[in-house]
A and B are shown apart, each in its own frame.
Chain A
Amino acid sequence: MGMRVSNEQSDSAAESCVAILSKRFGGSDVISTVEHHSNAFKMAFVRIHCPPQHWPAVAKSLRFDHGANYCSMVTGTHYPEGNEDRGWEVVYHLMRQPVVDQKPFTNTVHVASELTGSDIPLEFEILVALPQGDEPSVPSVQSVWVGADWNEKETWDLVGIRFEGHENMHRVLNPHDSPEGFHPLQKQHKLRYHDYNEMYDDAQGFGRKPTDEGRVK
Chain B
Amino acid sequence: MAQMWITMGPQHPMTHGLWTLRVKVDGETVVDTEAELGYIHRGVEKIAESRDFTQITPYCDRLCYVSAMTWANSYIYAAEDLLEVEVPERAEYIRLISAECQRLASHLMWLGAYGPDIGSLTLMTWCMRDREMFLDLLQELGGSRMHYNYPRIGGVKRDIPVGFANRLVAKVKLFEKRIEEYEMMLDESTIWLVRLQGVGYANAEDMVNAGVSGPNIRAAGVNYDARWAHPYSVYDQVDWEPAVEKPTSVKGADCYDRYRVRMEEMRQSCRMILDAIEKIPGGKNTNYSNGDEMILAKAPTRAPEGATGFSNYECTRGASKFYIQGGGDGRGKNPYRLSIRSPMFITIPYVAKTMIGYKVADIPAIMGSFDPCIGETDR
Which residues of A line the B interface, CB within 8 A? 1-5, 37-41, 43, 69-73, 75, 77, 91, 93, 95, 97-110, 112, 121, 123, 125, 145-147, 149-151, 154, 158, 171-175, 184-185, 189, 191, 194
Contact = CB atoms under 8 A, between A and B. Distances in A.
Interface in B192-247: 203-211, 213, 217, 220-224, 228-233, 235-241, 244-247
Nearest to B379: A173
Contact of A103 (B37, B223, B250): B250
Contacts of B321: 72-73, 93
A100 B379 contact: no
A157 B222 CA distance: 34
Nearest to B37: A172
B224 A102 contact: no
Interface residues of B, number: 72
Nearest to A127: B308
A194 B292 CA distance: 35
Contacts of A108: 221-223, 244
A154 B81 contact: no
26 contacts: A5-B228, A5-B230, A72-B341, A73-B323, A93-B321, A98-B224, A99-B207, A101-B203, A102-B221, A104-B247, A105-B247, A107-B247, A108-B222, A121-B230, A145-B211, A146-B209, A147-B211, A151-B211, A158-B45, A171-B38, A172-B37, A172-B38, A173-B41, A173-B378, A173-B379, A189-B46
Nearest to B231: A4
A107 B245 contact: yes
A43 B229 CA distance: 10
Given A37-B81, A184-B46, A43 B211 contact: no
B210 A146 contact: yes
Nearest to A186: B46
Contacts of B310: 37, 93, 123, 125
A64 to B, nearest CB: 12
A106 B211 CA distance: 22
A105 B250 CA distance: 9
Given A4-B235, A123-B230, A73 B349 contact: no
8 cross-chain pairs, A with B, having the tightest CB-CB distances, nearest first:
A147-B211, A102-B221, A75-B339, A121-B229, A107-B221, A4-B236, A73-B341, A4-B231
Contacts of A121: 224, 229-230
A102 B203 CA distance: 8
Interface of A is mostly: loop
B209 A185 contact: no
Given A97-B229, A112-B229, A77 B236 contact: no
B223 A109 contact: yes
Residue among A38, A108, A175 with the highest chain B CB neighbour number at 10 A: A38
Contacts of B337: 75, 77, 185
A1 B228 CA distance: 10
Contact of A1 (B45, B240, B248): B240
Interface of B: 37-38, 41, 43, 45-47, 50, 77, 80-82, 84-87, 92, 203-211, 213, 217, 220-224, 228-233, 235-241, 244-250, 252, 309-312, 319, 321, 323, 325, 336-337, 339, 341, 345-346, 349-350, 378-379
Contacts, number: 173
Contact of A41 (B221, B232, B252, B349): B232
A72 to B, nearest CB: 6
Contacts of A72: 211, 213, 319, 321, 341
A99 B223 CA distance: 8
Nearest to B353: A146
Contact of B81 (A38, A98, A194): A38
A71 B211 contact: yes
A184 B43 contact: yes
Contacts of B222: 98-100, 102, 107-108
Contact of B231 (A1, A41, A109, A194): A41
Contacts of B240: 1
Contacts of B80: 38-39
A158 B48 CA distance: 14
A91 B230 contact: no
Nearest to B92: A40
A69 B206 CA distance: 10
Nearest to A45: B310
A109 B244 contact: yes
Given A104-B248, A104-B249, A121-B230, A174 B41 contact: yes
A196 to B, nearest CB: 12
Given A5-B228, A107-B221, A191 B209 contact: no
Nearest to B209: A146
A104 B341 CA distance: 32
A174 B38 contact: yes
A51 B73 CA distance: 34
A105 B237 CA distance: 30
Given A4-B236, A109-B244, A191-B47, 4 more contacts: A39-B81, A99-B217, A107-B247, A151-B345
A174 B41 CA distance: 7
A110 B228 CA distance: 10
B246 A105 contact: yes
B234 to A, nearest CB: 9
A147 to B, nearest CB: 3
